[in-house]
Copies of this chain bind each other. A is one copy, B any other.
Amino acid sequence: MAFHYPNGQPYSNHETKQPKKQGRHTSPTTLYGKRGMSLEEEINDSNQYYRLRDAAVIYKKPTPIQIVKVDYPARSQAVIKEAYFKQASTTDYNGIYQGHYVDFEAKETKNKTSFPFQNFHQHQIDHFRACLQQGGVCFVIMKFVPLQRLFVYPASLLITQWDNQATGGRKSIPLAAIVADGFEIQYQLNPSIPYLEAVDQLIARHHKGV
């Protein structure tokens, strides 16, 4: 029986070709995310994978909606007839992983050489700062769409660079800095974004006080 990847490519004894972790770009079969899935869907999918295996309990928060008008038709469910999208006060994802409070945002860019700050909002930075102060594990999952490269980037570094803008600092984070200070994630089959491996490294670095 022939198996196919979600992207339609045939399966061909893939595991023997898996990268050996050290050389990170040695995989002959580069997975490019599941067909037609947005970054958000890929992360939701990965969170579900982690929950089903009792690895972590992490969810995307629902989009906040300001409800203005609701109809209650007889014998059927309530219908919202007028509502508006609200600005979220927090980041999109949070939960618990092996005793750690985990809090993150997922962002993508079409840039190839740096990640622009315009992807972030002040309230997200403030939320990260408050969560870090309480001892949370906070980060951004950054995707460079043209490069199909994904990183877990620590919120603590994001905050520092965000704050530097006020004193003439850059308006973006160079890819080289993200490669140096973040943790690259390789797309795989299941979960498609195995970001908890990168989170393990982030926690380990934190415990080493690096």
Contact = CB atoms under 8 A, between A and B. Distances in A.
A22 interface: no
B59 A90 contact: yes
Interface residues of A, number: 40
Given A61-B62, A96-B136, A130 B79 contact: no
Interface in A57-111: 57, 59, 61-65, 67, 77-86, 88-90, 94-101, 103
A85 to B, nearest CB: 6
Given A79-B84, A80-B83, A62 B59 contact: no
Contacts of A146: none
A85 B94 contact: no
A57 B96 contact: no
B97 A134 contact: yes
Given A59-B90, A99-B101, 15 more contacts: A54-B133, A57-B127, A57-B131, A62-B88, A65-B80, A65-B83, A77-B85, A78-B84, A79-B84, A81-B82, A96-B101, A96-B136, A98-B134, A99-B134, A99-B135
